Amino acid sequence: MRYEISEQAALDIQEIFVYTILNFGSPQANAYLKGLRDTFKQLTDFPEIGQDISMYCRCIVDWCIKVTQFITR
């Protein structure tokens, strides 16, 4: 099974990759990218493990976004 990401997601990943190279080096940037690819592949192989959490609470989604922004600073 294949996966597709949105154009915006691809741009976000590219920005994270460049930022990581500049701040933590190529090995870490490549590790992040490999981790994303592995996760996407796992989700396509086992789609039942992924859940849409937006139905639970918008605050959870907002929290996830804030944590991601903090981590990628």
Domain range annotation of the chain: 7-71
Alpha-carbon dihedral of residues 7, 13, 14, 17, nearest 10 degrees?
180
d(CA 58, CA 4): 25
Dihedral sign, Cα of residue 6, residue 11, residue 14, residue 19: negative
pLDDT score recorded for residue 66 = 81
pTM of the model: 0.62
d(CA 9, CA 24): 21
pLDDT, one tens digit per residue, over 11-70 is: 999 999 999 999 999 999 999 999 999 998 998 888 878 777 666 667 777 777 888 887
pLDDT of 1 above 90 = no
List of E strands, 1-73: none
pLDDT score recorded for residue 53 = 64
